Structure 1
Amino acid sequence: MNKIPAIVHISRIRDEGAGMMILKTSKILFLSIFIWFAAISYLAEASAAPSQKINEETLAQISDYVREQFDHNRVIGGAVGIIHKDRLIYSEGFGVADRGRNDTPTEKTVYFSASITKALTATAILQLHEQGKLDIDKPVHTYIPWFQFQHSDRSLKVTLNHLLTHSAGGIGSFQTDGLVFAHKDAKDSLESYVRQFSKIRLSEEPGQSGNYCNGCYDVLGLVIEYVSGMSYYDYMQQNIFEPLGMKDTKFGPSLDQFDETRLATEYTWFLTRKLPIKRSFEEFGRAQDPDGGAYSTIEDLGKFISFQLGHANQQLLTPLSMENTRIGYVATELGDAEYTASGFEVKELQQTKVYYKTGDGIGSSTVILFIPNHDLGIALMIGEMHPEIQLPVAEGIASILMGYAPETTDFPLTFMKLIGIFSIALILLSVLLIGLFIRRGLRRKLHSRSILRLCLSLLVWGAVAASLWLLILTVRPSAMGVYGYPYDLAMGIGLITIVSNLWLGYYFLVLINFIRDRYNRGNI
């Protein structure tokens, strides 16, 4: 009987011990939950840090920097936007969208985005890959049975991934762009244009090296049509633009939906001067739209960048797919970046990985750039052909956002301005040679005293004329202007060709007259 209280006592001690254990466990659990929430809060603040650091002072520095670069390089006008996660946190216009209207561009001004379209086309291809409708590691002829390059053995090895990464066997834009002139339908028919690729010879094994290729993305555009059963335009509208809310991104003729005041005028170089031109889709045709035909705005490109950063309302690709296709595949021609299957190039900037895509149209220069580690992106659209500055300016803005000093861009002599100077030189040389031709014809008529000098003149002018005709008839360096040549260069080459043929004809007649004189004198 005396043992019962002892048992009760022991039981009470166990209950109290269990209670203490529960209390301690509760405290630990509460402390763990508190630490977890604190960590989440800290990480959220850390991820928001870039946005918090982008204060008025930083934005003012960016504004001053862009204005300085535009003024320094005499840019007519353009617009810039900065994206953080899913928001366009800054946008500003510089210069004018149109010299006649004298209006400042905004985030809603429509510019020709040019090769930024490649990143949009790549997204569509990767979307179809995820859906199992195609495999980017399979050859192109799997989806377009008749497709081939001139080198049949190598052609069979070219995969969609090779097209995405500009590594299809050494071919580049120089070989593909001018093919729009190879057939009467090639400029406006995507299939007709791609069929002309059978004329291109692959210079190396696919995947060996990178060579920027506009036409390769037009092949991808045709693949989209064959695989989806839709037109390229309908697929892009329904599966890329609408899901991302890119309501102002259009192709060619669809621009008539906009009020004219929303469209930036396109300016290009002609004999060292910037002049307005007809819109790029009218100049280039529609066959090359998948590689560079989209018109867009800073606002819409910001939505595409948000998708690339993983913060769009509707993600078009899985994070794993986006990560895998952003791996550098082959080096670019300059070796300072790498091509990826995402349509972007990747490089290091201020010890940070950045992805970018530039666009160079006949009347525009554009770029989008994003920094995944900072959840930041930049969109820049310029209303003139000035391909030397858009990427350096975007990198300067990115440097400011990451806390570094930007570099100043200085390109007083752009590539197109140099072409203008060269064209003027050809025109002046032609005028000089025409003057000499007239003077020679009036003074000497068709006489020559030296057969050696006559034969040498015939040889020189024959070589010049033959070279120029070979250039004109066989080389199509681009899809713009007169058979691939900018208008001013076409004028210069045309004049010098006419003059060289005049001189060749003159010396040929002199030779005939020389032989006739010798024959009449009995010397032959």
Structure 2
Amino acid sequence: MSKKSKKKWRQLGELITQSMQEKEIPGVALGIWHKGKARTAGFGVTNVDHPHDVTDTTLYQIGSITKTFVALAIVQLVEAGKLDLNLPVRTYLPDFQTQAPEVAANVTVRHLLTHTAGWDGDLFHDTGSGEDALTRYAKVLAEQPQILPLATAVSYNNASFSIAGHLIEQVTGQPFETVIKERIFQPLGMKDAYFDARDVITHRFAVGHNGGKVARPWYLTRSAYPAGGICCHVNDLLRYGRF
């Protein structure tokens, strides 16, 4: 690293440390890919109750970055001729229902990925940890209010990505998590990327916090995995970012 780069790296670290103090952020993992090289650093701790230093192998929930993995898997299936972004969801999920029958009949795969389906997107409903979690979630969605007419506005929609995950399962005949692992994690060498908290707890991981306190529970239910369930470290996230 050149003298100029070292100075910028130090200044970036100082900025992060300052922001952590101002916003009560316990820990941060930083990763930058520049000119063919990865630069990583850890700041703070994983857990204010049981503190360990954050490193570049500390697992974090990456939240809604997970949605880009879902979109990538969908596009892979499009390229394989198994999906069409412009066909109705019912092409692949014949029993799909929403509160508005005309929406259920016309909503497309593209609408799911572009946050334009129009139904209430904040449905975090625990449908269990079994392999039918997303199937059961799709049935619950039928009770969600239709907030906007289909395709008239962009409104952030977690629920649509759970439906997209369910669609992936139906088209491939595999659990959603297996599809993401086999089609994305494994080819990219993301060896420490997980969905299940039971896998995560065997590694050093950062828990969620509300201000300066640990948030409990910090994990998502299985039905919300497509909306934000991936846990990985910054090195694996850089591998994905370079893809």
TM-score, length-normalised on structure 2? 0.90
Paired with 2:35 and 2:109, the residues of 1 have a C-alpha distance of 30
Instruction: Give the alignment partner of residue 214 of structure 2, picking from 275, 278, 284.
Output: 275
Q: 1:290 aligned to 213, 226, 236, which one?
A: 226
Please report the RMSD computed on the Cα atoms of aligned residues, expressed in angstroms. Answer: 2.2
Report the AA paired with residue 297 of structure 1: H
**Structure 1 residues 52, 136: CA separation in 2 closer, same or farther (over 3 Å shift)?**
farther
User: 1:108: which partner in 2?
Assistant: 57
- Structure with greater Cα Rg: 1
Aligned mates of 1:198, 1:86 — CA distance in 2: 48
Q: Does 1:216 align with 2:155?
A: no
Partner residue, 1:126: 75
Residue 79 of structure 1 corresponds to which residue in structure 2?
Answer: 29
Residues 6-17 of structure 1 aligned to structure 2 (within 5 Å): none
Equivalent residue number for residue 193 of structure 2? 249
| 1:114–1:293 Cα contact (<8 Å) kept | yes
Residue identity opposite 1:275 in structure 2? V
CA offset digits 1:230-272 (Å, max 9, x no partner): 111111111110001111110114525733xx11233235xxx
Give the Å deviation of 1:278. 3.7
Distance (whole Å) between structure 1 residues aligned to residue 24 and residue 218 of structure 2? 22
**Alignment correspondent of 2:116:** 167
For 2:148 and 2:13, locate their aligned partners in 1 and report how far apart those are by CA, in whole Å: 46
- CA distance in structure 1 between the partners assigned to 2:100 and 2:180 by the alignment: 32
1:53 Cα deviation (Å)? 10
- Alpha-carbon deviation of 1:85? 6.2
Matched residues in 1 for 2:84 and 2:181: separation?
Answer: 22
| Partner-residue secondary structure (3-state), 1:246 | coil
More contact order relative to length (CA 8 Å, sep ≥ 6): 2
Change in CA separation of 1:238 and 1:257 when aligned onto 2, cut-off 3 Å: farther
The match for 2:140 is 196
Q: Which amino acid aligns with 1:301?
A: L
Deviation at 1:55, TM superposition (A): 1.2
Q: Aligned with 1:156: secondary structure?
A: helix
Tell me which amino acid in the other structure corresponds to 2:72. Answer: T
Instruction: Tell me the residue number matched to 2:90.
Output: 141
* Counterpart secondary structure, 1:92: strand
2:43 paired with 1:94: yes
TM-score if structure 1 supplies the norm length? 0.43
**How high is the sequence identity, in percent, across the aligned residues?**
31
Change in Cα spacing, 1:54 to 1:172, as seen in structure 2 (3 Å) is: farther
Q: Is the 8 A contact 1:109 1:263 kept in 2?
A: yes
* Separation of aligned partners in 2, 1:229 and 1:53: 54
Is 1:229 the counterpart of 2:173 in the alignment? yes
CA contact (8 A) 2:197 2:219 kept: no
What do the CA deviations read for 1:84-112 (whole angstroms, capped 9, x no partner)?
Answer: 36542x21111111234432211110011
More helix by share: 1
Give the letter aligned to residue 62 of structure 1: L
How many residues are paired up?
A: 240
Q: Is the 2:26–2:45 contact (alpha carbons within 8 Å) kept by the matching residues of 1?
A: yes
Match for residue 11 of structure 1?
none
After the TM superposition, list the runs of 4 or more consecutive aligned residues in structure 1 that deviate by more than 3 angstroms: 51-54
Aligned with 1:280: secondary structure?
A: coil
Q: Which whole-Å deviations, capped at 9, do the CAs of 1:412-450 have from their partners, x for residues lacking one?
A: xxxxxxxxxxxxxxxxxxxxxxxxxxxxxxxxxxxxxxx
Report the CA distance between 1:130 and its aligned residue: 1.0
Corresponding position: 1:56 with 2:6: yes
In the alignment, is residue 150 of structure 1 matched against residue 99 of structure 2?
yes
Residues in 2 aligned to 1:267 and 1:302: alpha-carbon distance in whole angstroms: 24
Which whole-Å CA distance do the structure 2 matches of 1:95 and 1:78 have between them? 6
Gaps of 5+ in 1: 1-50, 308-524
Shift, 1:210, TM fit = 0.6
Equivalent position amino acid for 1:171 in 2? W
1:366-414 deviations in whole A, cap 9, x for unaligned? xxxxxxxxxxxxxxxxxxxxxxxxxxxxxxxxxxxxxxxxxxxxxxxxx
**Counterpart Cα distance in 2 of 1:122 and 1:299:** 21
Q: Deviations over 1:316-375 (max 9, x none)?
A: xxxxxxxxxxxxxxxxxxxxxxxxxxxxxxxxxxxxxxxxxxxxxxxxxxxxxxxxxxxx
Pair 1:205–1:102, CA change in 2 (3 A): closer
Q: How does 1:404-415 map to 2 (within 5 A)?
A: none
Relative to 1, partners in 2 of residues 1:54 and 1:157: Cα closer, same or farther, differing over 3 Å? farther
1:361-376 paired onto structure 2 within 5 Å: none
Distance of 1:126 and 1:86 partners within structure 2: 27
